[in-house]
Amino acid sequence: MHPRHHEPIPRRAAAFRAGRRLLLALGACLYAGTVGACGGREPSVDSAAKRPTVVCTVGMVTDIVRNVAGDRVEVVGLLGEGVDPHLYKPTRSDIERLMSADMVFYSGLLLEGKMTDALVRVASAGRRVHAVTELLDESFLLEPPQFAGHADPHVWMDPVAWKSAVEVVRDRLVEFDPPGRDSYEANASAYRNELDKLDAYCEVAIASIPPQQRVLVTAHDAFNYFGRRYGIEVHGIQGISTESEAGVQDIERLVELIVERGIPAVFIESTVSQRNIEALVAGARARGRSIAIGASLFSDAMGPPGTYEGTYVGMIDHNATAIARALGGVVPERGMNGRLAP
């Protein structure tokens, strides 16, 4: 079982460490585009002109930027509901949006693996390109043995870690638009307070699960930071990237675990095929153990646009509430804010 991670998120000791993080993620050219410019333009906000455009990759990043930026910039998100960022290849229109943006935010840590070339091109063209995970120290990151040399990118599953991403967005927007400093700082502070409330709710929700049943089995390894933060053991059928394939031995190993530990439910994910989860259920049934498939969890993408679950807070609220209820915990039926879909 992962111990709860109480320590504050470490900061970079010097600027070169941020450069190394970006070098690992996208290469030297993108690094140059992120920390400065490759001879490109230096846009600024002019209230009398059209609002600048900020393009974001995954929904969790888009949600931060929308909350911090307010109405000072136009925020465009590329990857929507149910889209797997591990496998997503940018379309021609995506490339056009990225190239015409005044600023780009992406998650980083190789989450958007197949978008790397596009992000390098954008940085090479002189656009401001920023990884929101750049403040996370390497000592915080998880590195599964089977992915030696590559950190687990699913850091948003820990709301305290995700607070550091809010800082990145705030600081980069202030650099881009100094007159908006007060607005960006106030918005970021309010959003970080919401994440503190979310973290406290998740802790109570998961702690309500009987200790022997605090075992989370999901389609792929997207919940390890969540597990470490809240003290719940996590097992994914696939690895940290959905490009990996689950084998018969992986299924058999988890069936054995489910039967031995009396785990009452396993979980599908909104961006991953449920085929492997159904194989687990069938395998457990063959061993005389009936298990439920819990509510679909949001892992690499948020819920539908315009819904509470389509926000980062709603996404994590849904996950914590669904996990706790299915594994025997006691939580409000409609979650932390009473806004989850019935």
Amino acid identity of 314? G
* Residue with more model confidence, 80 or 49: 80
Domain boundaries 15-200, corresponding CATH code: 3.40.50.1980
pTM of the full predicted structure?
Answer: 0.84
Enumerate the β-bridge partners of residue 54. 75, 103
The HSE-up count of residue 230 (CA atoms within 13 Å, CB side) is: 32
* Residue with more model confidence, 331 or 245: 331
pLDDT of res. 252: 85
pLDDT of res. 185: 98
pLDDT averaged over the chain?
Answer: 84
Which residues make Cβ contacts (< 8 Å) with residue 78, sequence separation at least 6?
A: 55, 56, 57, 90, 94, 97, 98
What percentage of the chain reaches a pLDDT higher than 90? 58
Instruction: State how far the Cα of 269 lies from the Cα of 82, in Å rounded to an integer.
Output: 9
Q: Is the pLDDT of residue 242 over 60?
A: no
Length of the chain: 342
CATH number for 206-326: choose from 2.30.30.100, 3.40.630.30, 3.40.50.300, 3.40.50.1980: 3.40.50.1980
pLDDT tens per residue, range 32-67: 444 333 334 444 555 445 789 999 999 999 999 999
Instruction: State how far the Cα of 107 lies from the Cα of 155, in Å rounded to an integer.
Output: 9
Which structure tokens are listed for 86? 């591990």
Pairing of strands 103-106, 53-56: parallel
Q: Where in the chain is the domain with CATH 3.40.50.1980?
A: 15-200, 206-326
Q: Is the pLDDT of residue 260 over 50?
A: yes
Enumerate the β-bridge partners of residue 269. 297
